């Protein structure tokens, strides 16, 4: 898991006294920002980037299919060979869906056949095309947000050959996480204990192929989290917005007078979340971030953004009372209404978390509708998003036949046609 490092002002708690048989030990607090700094960063946060949106308007269909370029970029369906990275106390992975780290190898564990230069890449995968629907919904969501000008991580659909890999990489990371709770990465004896635990997990190693896989690359920049020891736990990062995330309940604290996003952009962002059925919107699935290039010489972030960082449960529907999700499911998504009450501008979003059936302004609806203008975001560009996701490999049926990219585009067009109509009695 990536630490904030030097991006924020460093806060050191002088002494944390622990009295016992070994005497007194001194611990430095984790690096991070203060609660007051976080409040100020949220107040001036943006959600939409005009420059990003304008640049996306001229992208070709092939460029959309390949995805964002730059460092750590991959092309559509690229064949990637990498070496399984054993779990350690520094790379514990949270969440519930299958993923693992894979990289270039090391001096002690070389990988001459590896085709990547990165030390660690996060690979999300399915043991078969239908096993992990998130590998499709995340590509659809991140590509759409990228084209519309909202910040998003980069997800690249690839075919992975994993060298020295267990048969079930995710079970290794999951079991490891469950057994190392309470161990401290700063204590050599705990590090050794964790290495011993990892060594005994997963059975025989071999070269494994994962045809249904996505490499997730974080948006360049730094997660802004408070310097609190509790924020070192992945479990707390998922639930406490102070630990780098963002709660939708904090929307009212984004203040245009402080330089924050205007109301219509905030409403458009919430409406987009409903459009994508982002029901699993707990604080850890959003992020407060300082994008690359926004760090001033004095260590202060000059421009902050809040963004959706995990849209894995999207493009489907939530179950009764928001329990359970159908992910990247065209039948569910197609039948999901955009509005609970158009006259009240109340969008449809079932969730057990903070953002549920959000009420927005017609100005926010109009802002999002303009970004989705069919004259700019043409059907062939929408098709490129769904083609890039490889969602048809999932094997779903739609209206009695195997779901096609054209079916997904049709569902998208019906929703944005609904979006184009005013709400709130206008």
How would residue 296 be classed by pLDDT, with cut points 50, 70 and 90? Answer: confident
How would residue 23 be classed by pLDDT, with cut points 50, 70 and 90? Answer: very low
Average pLDDT, the chain: 91
CA dist 227 and 246 (Å) reads 16
Beta-carbon count within 10 A of 233 CB: 15
Beta-carbon count within 10 A of 361 CB: 17
How would residue 234 be classed by pLDDT, with cut points 50, 70 and 90? Answer: confident
Residues of the chain above pLDDT 70, percent = 92
The pLDDT of residue 13? 29
pLDDT at residue 96 greater than cutoff 90: no
Per-residue pLDDT of 324-341, as tens digits, reads 889 999 999 999 999 999
Residue written as token pair 């005013």: 422
How would DSSP label each residue in 112-138? TT-----S-EEEEEESSTTT-THHHHH
Beta bridge partners of 216: 122, 155
Mean pLDDT of 129-134: 96
Give φ, ψ of 306 to 5 degrees: -110, 145
What pTM value is reported for the model?
A: 0.90
CA dist 39 and 45 (Å) reads 10
């Amino acid at each position: 898991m990536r630490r904030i490092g030097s991006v924020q002002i460093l806060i050191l708690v002088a002494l944390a006294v622990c009295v016992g048989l070994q005497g007194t030990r001194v611990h430095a607090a984790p690096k991070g920002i203060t609660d007051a700094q976080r409040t100020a960063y949220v107040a001036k946060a943006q959600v939409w980037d005009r420059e990003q949106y304008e640049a996306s308007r001229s992208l070709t269909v092939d460029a959309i299919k390949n995805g964002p370029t730059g460092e750590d970029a991959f092309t559509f369906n690229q064949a990637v060979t990498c070496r399984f990275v054993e779990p350690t106390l520094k790379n514990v992975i949270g969440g519930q869906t299958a993923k693992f780290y894979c990289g270039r190898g090391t001096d002690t564990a070389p990988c001459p056949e590896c085709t990547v230069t990165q030390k660690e890449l996060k690979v999300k995968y399915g043991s078969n095309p239908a096993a992990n629907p998130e590998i499709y919904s995340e590509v659809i969501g991140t590509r759409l947000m990228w084209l519309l000008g909202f910040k998003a991580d980069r997800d690249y659909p690839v075919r992975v050959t994993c060298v020295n890999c267990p048969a079930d990489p995710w079970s290794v990371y999951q079991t490891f996480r469950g057994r190392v709770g309470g161990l401290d990465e700063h204590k050599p004896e705990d590090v050794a204990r964790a290495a011993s635990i990892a060594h005994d997990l997963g059975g025989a190693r071999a070269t494994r192929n994962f045809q249904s896989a996505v490499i997730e690359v974080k948006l360049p920049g730094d997660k802004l989290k408070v310097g609190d020891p509790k924020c070192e736990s992945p479990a707390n990062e998922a639930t406490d917005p102070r630990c780098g995330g963002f709660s939708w309940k904090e929307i009212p604290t984004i203040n245009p007078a402080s330089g924050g996003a205007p109301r219509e952009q905030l409403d458009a962002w919430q409406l987009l979340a409903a459009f994508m059925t982002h029901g699993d919107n707990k604080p850890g699935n959003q992020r407060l971030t300082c994008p690359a290039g926004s760090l001033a010489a004095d260590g202060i972030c000059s421009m902050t953004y809040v963004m959706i960082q995990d849209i894995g449960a999207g493009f489907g529907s939530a179950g009764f009372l928001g329990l359970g999700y159908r992910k990247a499911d065209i039948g569910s998504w197609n039948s999901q209404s955009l509005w609970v009450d158009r006259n009240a501008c109340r969008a449809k979003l079932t969730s057990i978390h903070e953002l549920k059936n959000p009420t927005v302004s017609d100005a926010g609806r109009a802002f999002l509708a303009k970004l989705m203008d069919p004259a700019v975001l043409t059907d062939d560009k929408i098709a490129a998003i769904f083609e890039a996701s490889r969602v048809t490999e999932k094997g779903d049926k739609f209206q009695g036949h195997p779901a096609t990219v054209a079916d997904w585009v049709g569902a998208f067009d019906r929703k944005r046609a609904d979006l184009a109509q005013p709400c709130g009695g206008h």
